[in-house]
Structure 1
Amino acid sequence: MQLGARWMVGAQPHSSVPPELYAEIARQEQLHPDASSWTLTWLEGRPRAGLDDLVIVSVNAEGQIVASPVGGSLPTRTATTMIG
């Protein structure tokens, strides 16, 4: 079982966040300067970092890092970095 975590925007991501997510987390913080905090959860063994109620940065089944808006109002962005 993996436990979630929280950290503030602008701070170093929590130690349990895979480093492969750091670049996309930083990018999303730049896109959402008024956001306040991140929440890390795990789904099917893969990390999901949610920025307030704006976007979720996660790893899909193929190992790609994706940024998905909460509520699906904007297109999903797939980063070029892959895990594995």
Structure 2
Amino acid sequence: MQLGTRWAVGDETPSRLPQVVSDAIEEVEAALAEGDTDTSGWNWTLTWLEGKPVCELDDGTLVEYDPDTDEAIVTPYDDED
């Protein structure tokens, strides 16, 4: 695993992320805003696992990248686990 970076919810995503991942992050943030979730102080953490970006929101939501299909996979945090 390679460490990446952190950025605040609402800030621009790192330029090295695939566009589909950036788009998925924007969609997650839009859904949180639509639900009136207070994300002040929340951050995304980017790490690289086997050369692929993994973005985790402070609430546990994950956005991962599948380079074979050029798709972002969003896994919402499930507090029932």
Q: What's the TM-score, normalizing by structure 1?
A: 0.68
Cα separation, partners in 2 of 1:54 and 1:7, compared to 1, 3 Å: same
Contact 2:2–2:49 (8 Å) recurs in 1: no
RMSD of equivalent CA atoms = 2.3
Q: Give the drift of 1:65.
A: 1.1
1:38 to 44, 47, 57: 44
Distance 1:62 1:17 in 2: 15
Q: Which residue number in structure 2 is paired with residue 67 of structure 1? A: 74
Q: Which residue number in structure 2 is paired with residue 26 of structure 1? A: 26
Contact 1:6–1:14 (8 Å) recurs in 2: no
Instruction: Name which one, 1 or 2, has greater alpha-carbon Rg.
Output: 2
Aligned residues: 73
Q: Give the drift of 1:14.
A: 2.3
Distance 1:71 1:45 in 2: 26
Q: Give the drift of 1:6.
A: 0.2
Q: Give the drift of 1:28.
A: 0.4
Identity %: 37
Q: Does the alignment pair 1:11 with 2:11?
A: yes
Q: What's the TM-score, normalizing by structure 2?
A: 0.71
Distance 2:78 2:28 in 1: 16
Q: Give the drift of 1:17.
A: 2.6
Where in structure 2 are there 5+ consecutive unaligned residues?
Answer: none
Distance 1:61 1:26 in 2: 19
Q: Which has the higher contact order (CA 8 A, sep 6+)?
A: 2
Task: Please give the secondary structure, in 2, of the residue aligned with 1:32.
Answer: helix
